[in-house]
Structure 1
């Protein structure tokens, strides 16, 4: 399992606490980024749900920037990735809803 988030994100902190004791690799999207292959795979499964349009980064973008290719935009501004982004056995999830928790914690 791989966990992509921000150490300052409250939702990521909740998810990490729930995952305590499980084996996973954690990545900080701001410090580590997300490699293009993983970003493309996550976008392929999640589509527009991958983009955090409620973030301050999104609100700071002009209309032309928002209309760019989503993968380029996410690679350039990794804080636009909705968090946490979790990959488990090739299945990508985003956020920490009850459905995501069930998928991630129960496999």
Structure 2
């Protein structure tokens, strides 16, 4: 399992701590430090609903220019996500070919179920 996130994100920290406590093997990929490319962003956008992936409540989104918001609605969102990784909700979990976004009870249950099939 790979977790994509940002090291100083509180939700990512909680998720990593929970995974360690549960003994679930994982690899953390820091979107800022380790980077990611447009192909990865396109993959996420193809597997996840736009509204699930993009955080419209965050500071990064609120500080976008109108032209950038228009790109998020109608254009090639992947280049903007690579440029501004904090536009995405975090963490993003990769479980085989499935991606989950966020860290609520629903994601915890799916991760636990996935981990049981791998052990």
The structure having more radius of gyration, on CA atoms, is 2
Q: Over the residues paired in the alignment, what is the CA RMSD in angstroms?
A: 1.3
Structure with a larger share of its residues in helix: 2
Q: For residues 37 and 94 of structure 2, what CA distance do their matches in structure 1 show? A: 13
Q: What residue in structure 1 maps to residue 81 of structure 2?
A: 74
Q: Could you list the runs of 4 or more consecutive aligned residues of structure 1 that deviate by over 6 angstroms after TM superposition?
A: none
Q: What TM-score, normalized to structure 1?
A: 0.90
CA deviations 1:82-103 (Å, max 9, x no partner) are 1001101110010012111111
CA deviations 1:26-53 (Å, max 9, x no partner) are 1111222223332222111112111111
Match of 1:40 among 39, 42, 47: 42
Match of 1:101 among 86, 98, 108: 108
Paired positions, count? 107
For structure 2, the 5+ residue unaligned runs are 115-119
Q: For residues 28 and 54 of structure 1, what CA distance do their matches in structure 2 show? A: 21
Over 3 Å counting, the alpha-carbon distance change for 1:23 and 1:35 in structure 2 is farther
For structure 1, the 5+ residue unaligned runs are none
